[in-house]
Each structure stands twice: as C-alpha cells, then as structure tokens.
Amino acid sequence: MKIIESTDAAQRHVRERTGKSVLVPTMGALHRGHLELIRVAREYAGRDGEVAVSIFVNPLQFEPGSDFEKYPRPESTDEKFCADAGVNLLFRPRDMYFEDRSVYVDETQLSAGLCGAARRGHFRGVCTVVAKLFNLLAPAAAVFGEKDYQQLAIIRRMARDLNFSIEIIGVPTVREADGLALSSRNQYLDTDERAAAPVLYQSMLRVKELADRGENSVSKLIDVARSVIASAKGARIDYISIVDAENLQPLETLRPNALIALAVFIGKTRLIDNLRLT
C-alpha cells in the first residue's frame, strides 16, 4: 500500500498512474462501515484498479464548539486496517488548506434542512474538502455511505452541477446486531449510552411498521418516533424529519420516496440515522 501525505505527491501520483481509481473519502477511525465502502470500491475498480482511501479530519466541517479536537485519530491502526483491506493508496494529507484560502463550494438547496440547519457551515466544509479530494486524486468513481444520506445527496448534486466526471456510488448503512449504525462517534458512548443508542433505529422501524400498515400522516409518524426516543434514558432529539428522498423537502403526507432522517443526542454524543419508508 502506498501512503501519500502531501498534495504535491498526490498530484504527481495521479500523473504517473495508469488504470481506474475509486476513492473512499473518510475521517478515519475506520470500522466495518468503512470496510464495506472499500469492498464496493474494489468491485468498481477491479482487481487491477486502484482503491484509494483518504483520511482527513476536516476542520472546515466542524462547527465551533464541536468535537474536532477530540475526534479519534488512530493513525497506525487505520493504516493497518487499510493495508489489510487491500487498499492501494492511503492519502492522509498534512497540507490540505492554504492559510489564506478564500474559495469554498456551497450547495444551497439540499443543505438547507436536516443536519445543514442544525450544523451551520457543515456541508460547505464537506463540499469544499470533497471537491479538493476529487481534483487532487481524479478518481473515476467515489463511494459514500447512505448513513450520511444528506451528505450523499449533496455530493451527487455537487458532482452534477459542477460537472465532475466522477461516478458517485452510495452504499447501504452497516449496522451492529442491535441496529445501531456503525459510526466513529459510537466510541464516545459509555456503557449506559451504548445500551440506549439503538433507540434511533428502533424508532424508525416503528415508524416504518405504521407506514406499512397505512398510516400516512407525517406528524403522527413523527410523534410516534418522538415517544419511542423519549423512552430511552439520556436521549435528546435534535431533529426528526420525514422528507422526499430526492429533494430532501419535508413532507406532510407520506408518498413514494419518503425517508425518515433523525439526529439524537445520546448524552453528549450526537448520532444520526435514516431509513427509507416508502
């Protein structure tokens, strides 16, 4: 596995590279969810293609007062994880931003609601760093998790609107046996919080059950999700929304393509999840 730590070296690598490259952008603290993205990337790249993983804890996408400082950075474990997973290139840049940077990528519609409303500037940071990674590594395709559904939708829109010739591939959410979506942030949870955390998935399953039985009032469905989450100790709802999965606009009545998305604090840890309802 080749490791590149500077943007110059990345551009040199791309000039000399032959064959197709598929990129998996991450912030590290790698887990089985990331492994599934790497597996899908290999499928697309083929045996002789390049699977590239980037690890960069992007300061631009952390709003003030969030967990940028304490975000886990297990460098050598992540390096071994990538080597064992058959990754060809690990890109962990030390020099992503110029101090006097003044250009950003802003998506202005899909990022208005959900996590974009709760975390001002977050998706601007995400789009800016992903656009830089796309330019630096020039992949044929890039793989993202549906766990961060809004992010995936925004990246698709960015690639479309800015004409990146990069195929965007979405991968279904990988979960623990009890339904909790894998996340690097799960390691912040103490024992009691970990026991409470599956309530996100349970609440969405309950909503899906009711939707499958014909309940189509979004406000009723959201009330049900709220009451399931209220039953878990230490859980505080940031938002629960039922939206159109294409344009992320809130719905009043269920119709095809509906998605429930939520963010819940378990103690101090903010977890997100989502599920297709129809």
Q: Residue 250 gets which letter from DSSP?
A: B
Q: Is 34 a catalytic residue?
A: yes
Q: How far apart are CA 77 and CA 90, in angstroms?
A: 13
Let me know: does 24 contact 170? Beta carbons within 8 Å.
no
Site map 177..216 versus ligand AMP, x via CB under 6 A? ----xxxx--------------------------------
Q: Which residue, 34 or 119, has its beta carbon nearer to ligand AMP?
A: 34
CB of 185 to ligand AMP, least distance (A): 8
> Footprint of ligand AMP on residues 34-73 (CB under 6 A)?
34, 36-37
Task: Give the contacts of 107 (CB within 8 A, at least 6 positions apart).
Answer: 123, 124, 127, 154, 157, 158, 161
| Residue 45 CB neighbour total at 10 angstroms | 22
Q: How far apart are CA 114 and CA 236, in angstroms?
A: 16
Residues 131, 134, 137, 142, CA torsion sign: positive
> Footprint of ligand AMP on residues 99-158 (CB under 6 A)?
144-145, 147-148
Select the residue whose beta carbon is closest to ligand AMP and give its number.
Answer: 145
CB of 214 to ligand AMP, least distance (A): 30
Q: How far apart are CA 18 and CA 39, in angstroms?
A: 21
Contact status: 96 vs ligand AMP (CB under 6 A): no
Residues forming contacts to ligand AMP in the complex (CB under 6 A) are: 26-27, 33-34, 36-37, 144-145, 147-148, 171, 173-174, 181-184
> Which residues are annotated as catalytic?
34
